[in-house]
Amino acid sequence: MPTVPCNLVITAPEIDALLHARHAAPHAVLGMHPCVKKGQHGLVVRALVREAVRCAVVAAGRREAWAMTRLDPAGLFEAFIPRRREVFRYQLRIHTAGGEMRQFADPYAFLPTLGAQDLYLFNEGNEHRIYEKLGAQLRTVDGTAGVAFAVWAPNATQVSLVGNFNHWDGRYHPMRSLGASGVWELFVPGLGEGELYKFFIRDRQGVVHAKTDPYGTHFEGPPNNASIVCDARKHRWQDDAWMRRRAEQAGRTDRPMSIYEVHLGSWRRKPEDGGRPLTYRELAPALADHATEMGFTHIEIMPVAEHPFDGSWGYQVTGFYAPTRRFGPPEDFAWFVDHLHQRGIGVILDWVPAHFPRDSFALALFDGTHLYEHADPRKGAHMDWGTLIFNYGRNEVRCFLQANALAWLDRYHIDGLRVDAVASMLYLDYSRKEGEWIPNRHGGRENLEAIDFLRQTNELVRRYHPGAVTIAEESTSFPGVSRPVAEGGLGFDYKWNMGWMHDTLRYFSREPVYRQWHQHDLTFGMLYQHAENFVTVFSHDEVVHGKASMLFKMGAWHIPEKAANLRALYAHMWAWPGKKLLFMGGEFAQSHEWNHAASLDWHLCQYPDHEGVRLLVRDLNRLYTGEPVLGENDFNPQGFEWINADDAAANVIAYLRRDAAGRTLFAVVGHFSAVTRHDYRIGVPRAGRWTEVINTSSGFYGGTGTGNAGGVVAETVPMHGREHSIRLTLPPLSTLIFKWSAEA
């Protein structure tokens, strides 16, 4: 450390800068420094301590102490220690006006807690564990426990750490700039978990912005929004067996996946406790019981990253690294995931890298400039949601988001990320009129930076967390969403099948008498079915904003007919190729639209029309997960074959599901008219018995009880280009699934 000439009192401009929180290099002034005073070598120590009327420098481990001179009533002190050239470890001992005495390590006595390599990789966009470097990190430095704070604010002129420990006064913990990295840092000894904090960031115009920590792991609840120092790794995991099996299945898509989409705040509430939502620890056993009973393999939870507004459902995030405090602390969220894993249920998280809200305390205009977002609203403003779009071309922003994806998988053992609103990321003209967007460097509409970001993120997930999956909610025909990056794709494992969903719901929303003119809504999807690894979905987006519940979408007048339609639709969905996803409430035919502020209507399960749907979904999951020909052949083009797609007049479709060798066969017959059809014949590829394994009109499911007495035997009667056929009774508004066996 260089020796500089020193007077007993620092200059007035430096005092003014410190006392008005404008000093950009506080470590150059505060703390201990070698100096020369009147030709004598020694050390100068300066401290700025709130509420102190007296202060002394105490040598660590020794009885030596030096009284300090108070330079300002705000708590600015200075002492000269003669004949000492080497900086040594020390503490500050203060006395307050109330007579209290405290002794503690000086924050300005410590070297930076981030190294040059950390900063280089961050600025390059390649520090994939930056969430362990920036933010608030519990550390022990030189034997002293405390918290290392670091924040990226490259355009700030000064940054202060504020919190309940300094009464939110920006004068007392100014942070040091780590040069061209744009990172500001401070280690505060003695702090620990539970401390509330923010960053006061002074921009180039002198305006101070009070900001929460972008890397914060825990936050206050509204209307407050401070970050909270928190150890996100306190939970002791018990899911080793699950994680080992998951890694062994890395890269495999030939396994069944039936996903139950859940909004934690409204799945079930406690009416005896003011209708409050369940906590993470209450939710986990109840959800595990339900998912296990119903045969779901995974739960997908709508975003749990911290967000201020309940009505955003979690899709407008302000705390990207923090599980929401609504249901408990981060340790309880880890317990939630761990419990589900131990019960054999995977956990998929909705992840939102497409946009962020304009809340003044969060990412928007973070250091007084458009740091995380594009400055030009033609690229940086989302027209539909009133939010801001990330600048995917900025290395540090890309690093923030990619590390965020990895942090959820690392800290909380999440099994997959369903990436929200991918279409809005892929296109520069998404939801924009002519003149409201800027073409890419080739003159096209594709957002090349976002495409690169998605590809890199998917590759990183695959590299660091084998067996974890990524799923795209992508509503256009962008090519190769679920194809490998090496083949020019985006690298997702799966893509939601939005086209099939819209077409099929459009068909079932019509009254049966009109369906014969819309058969193509049922059949068109097979033209592109194997272009992607599809998840067949009925998500939360389909049961809100006046769209009606799944039950009330059905084209019928009376509840029993609506329930029959819904049962037929679900059986067709589970038999159709693709992984499955169903939003909560759909499994028991919830009547009302989903309301994020209230519990599902579980009482409906006492009624046959609703309980019948629930029992059917349970049995469909058991069939799907128990029959390899279904779950293992979702993406095998030879696993599907039309029997008859042309009988629009009868509202009938029929198709086969088979394995590659053709050893296991299922025949699926959907009959979506309101009449019973007798002696209806379909061609089949094999002689033998065709057992009726699912009949959605079974009395067990609340149907009419009409069916085929458990199965039929194929006859040597040519039909649909095949030598054999089966003669069926088709109940109204039904789907039948038959399994072939050689023995008649």
Element (H, E) at 346: strand 346-351
Residues 6+ apart with CB under 8 A from 34: 1, 2, 3, 4, 41, 42, 43, 85, 86, 87
Residue with tokens 């990207």: 320
473 is catalytic: yes
Residue with tokens 């007579």: 99
CA distance 482 to 489: 7
CA distance 137 to 568: 54
- DSSP annotation of 557 reads S
Angle (CA) 594-599-601 rounded to 5° is: 75
CA distance 48 to 71: 10
Beta strands 176-177 and 469-472, pairing class: unpaired
CA distance 504 to 634: 18
193 is catalytic: no
Residues 6+ apart with CB under 8 A from 427: 445, 446, 447, 476
704 φ/ψ angles, rounded to the nearest 5 degrees: -80, -20
CA distance 411 to 320: 13
CA distance 30 to 21: 13
In 164-313, where do the E strands start and end?
Answer: 176-177, 183-189, 196-202, 208-211, 227-228, 258-262, 269-270, 276-277, 298-301, 305-306
Q: How many CA atoms lie within 13 A of 132 on its CB side?
A: 11
Catalytic option among 78, 127, 420, 493: 420
Q: Three-state SS across 186-224?
A: EEEECCCCCCEEEEEEECCCCCEEEECCCCCCCECCCCC
Element (H, E) at 122: helix 116-124
| Interaxial angle between packed helices 395-412 and 330-342, expressed in degrees from 0 to 180 and rounded to the nearest 10 | 60
Residues 6+ apart with CB under 8 A from 238: 338, 342
Q: How many residues does the chain have?
A: 744
| 508's tokens | 């079932």
Q: Beta-carbon neighbour count of residue 173 at 10 Å?
A: 25
123-134 exposure pattern, b = at least 16 Cβ within 10 A, e = fewer: bebebbebbbbb
376 φ/ψ angles, rounded to the nearest 5 degrees: -80, 120
Catalytic option among 185, 203, 449, 473: 473
Identify any residues that bridge with 102 across adjacent strands, giving them in sequence order: 94
CA distance 735 to 668: 7
Residue at 616: amino acid letter: L
Residue with tokens 């744009």: 182
User: Cis peptide before 26, with omega less than 30 degrees from 0?
Assistant: no
Residue at 729: amino acid letter: T
Residue 721: Cβ-neighbour burial (10 angstroms; 0-12, 13-18, 19+): exposed
Residue at 609: amino acid letter: D
CA distance 708 to 620: 19
CA distance 132 to 56: 35
Catalytic residue positions, numbered: 420, 473
